[in-house]
Amino acid sequence: MASISLPSLVLWCLGAFLCGSIPFGLVLVKLAGKGDVRAHGSGNIGATNVSRVGGKALGFVTLLLDIAKGFLPVFLGKQFGLGELALSLLALCAVLGHVFTPWLKFQGGKGVATALGVALAFRASMVLPALGVFIVLVLAFRYVSLGSVMAAAALPVTLIWMGATPLVILLWFGIVLVVILKHHENIRRLLKGTESPLWGLKKEDAHG
């Protein structure tokens, strides 16, 4: 494990934030000549809404890029020998960059794909339980938002089981908190029973 000075850590965190802040969904939809993705559907810049506006292929590319921009800074940090505490901080910064991107007046996406990316780079094995939670909940209840939030919550719980240090776990709970806060409207609709399912009769206000 390499030691790192505070100025260097700050630069790493800034780089992770800026990498996470790239609004791929917005850029791709505009390049495809479909206008501003925020003006359609849920208004979100994530892959689901991009698929709704620009087609499934564009949505899939957005998903991959949103995962990659979370994966890259944590992966690079690991290659440079940063410890898990520093890597967890980079992970949080990348997700914050996506959620509060400065290029869109700090209004970004919901952070799920980017959280998946940072988790894959941090400890790929922690993704499997989260993926299982997502699949089971979506198949059982048909709500992507419910699956997304609970899958994110599974990440620090898995780290507890894997024996991570308390500070590392705390930072990952911070990522979960960010994801939950960005899903507050979805959670409100879930509680009211008005959230749109992945398949079924309702089509409005789908999670994106």
Q: Which among 189, 74, 87, 197 has a CA at the least distance from the CA of 143?
A: 197
The DSSP result for 45-76, as a single string, is -SHHHHHHHH-HHHHHHHHHHHHHHHHHHHHH
Average of per-residue pLDDT across 75-84: 96
Percent of the chain with pLDDT over 70: 94
Whole-angstrom CA distances from 124 to 13, 23, 136 are 21, 24, 20
Q: Is 139 a residue whose pLDDT tops 90?
A: yes
Domain ranges across the chain: 6-192
Q: Is 28 a residue whose pLDDT tops 50?
A: yes
Percent of the chain with pLDDT over 90: 84
> In which band, very low, low, confident or very high, does the pLDDT at 201 lie, cut at 50, 70 and 90?
very low
Q: pLDDT tens digits, residue range 43-55?
A: 889 888 898 899 9
The answer to whether the pTM exceeds 0.85 is yes
